[in-house]
Structure 1
Amino acid sequence: MIAHPPQPSTVRVFVALAPPDDAKDELADALQPAYEKYAHLRWNRIQDWHITLAFLGELPVAAVPLLQPALARLAADRLSLGLGLNGGGHFDERLLWSGITGDLDALHVLADEVRTTVRDCGVTFQERLLRPHLTLARGRRGQQADILSAAASLAGFTGRTWQAERLHLVGSNIGRGPGVIRYRDIESWRFAAGS
């Protein structure tokens, strides 16, 4: 008999948008000097870059199927958003981010609709103020100056405008052991045609 590892009973979940690959590559090129100078920071993998609309935290695995049809309907009824990546900043001198530009009013409306949809599915989560950003790296104690310097190095960055074409339900392995945080799409849904 083959023993299989037990399946987790919970999953860490959030709802997000993701920039297209060429927009991420554009930012990664701008970050190249910071990657080299601050290699000791905990850099997020480019394929994991996302803009969180609602962080749901640890949910029972059984809650995920309740969310999927409702989020699919929401995406099908909404137009895609024109967004861009712009500049850099930090939260508490510990987290490096790139800013978001474009149709921010529609982004906030979409985030509100996502959160309402999740609550209507019976899923409770801690409400957090939406501060649109794309997380790039985290620093440990004593690395605050490096985070500040890396953020300053992005001050002149302005990426091209792109369409956020899909709504993503994402799971992560946070709290599942040491190492890099990994994200995976549980499912994603295409928005209606462009705005």
Structure 2
Amino acid sequence: MYKVFVNDIPIILSTKKDIGEKYKSFPIKTVKLKRIINKINDGELMFVNLYHDKEEKLLKHLFKKLPVVTAAGGMVFNDKNEILFIYRNKRWDLPKGKVEKGETLEESARREVMEETGIKDLEITSHIKETYHIFKRKDKYRIKVTHWYKMFSTYDGELIPELNEGIKKVKWKNLEKSRKALTKSYSNIKLLFPEEYLSTNPKNRVA
């Protein structure tokens, strides 16, 4: 199963035609996706399931319907177990950006994080997952696939927001402050976080 966000509304991609009575289901191979997106944006649809009996075909059919923009970004931890957030468009977010020609995903993720935050000495420690969201540019819908990496840095210098990208703030946030920031973030960003950051009763420190 996959979640593809239109704003904060997820379109579910699954191998089941029926995933609940509140969902309207459509075969992903033949669905008029732009029509579905418009209905979501107009508030006419809230629960959508696009299905195919073969899971490996779900993204393949999705990517045939919209141009794909590949991006990469990072969830950066420091030695205090704080996470690096950016503030843009009145939401807390994680640094990311479009992959440039000739770059690997890892190279792009490191570059974008450094450019957007001013951080240095970044080490990629693991791959997290991909997120998917649909956006509109030049009156055309596109799907952004963002490849996320867990990173680490001991950098304790000045953090510099990339103002020309609309970033107003860059902040390290501990568990409590991260949980608060996530209430003013995006649904696809929340998918990246361990349960401890989403729970109202945080337990132990997350490594």
TM-score by length of 2: 0.22
Bigger strand share:
2
Higher relative contact order (CA 8 A, sep 6+): 1
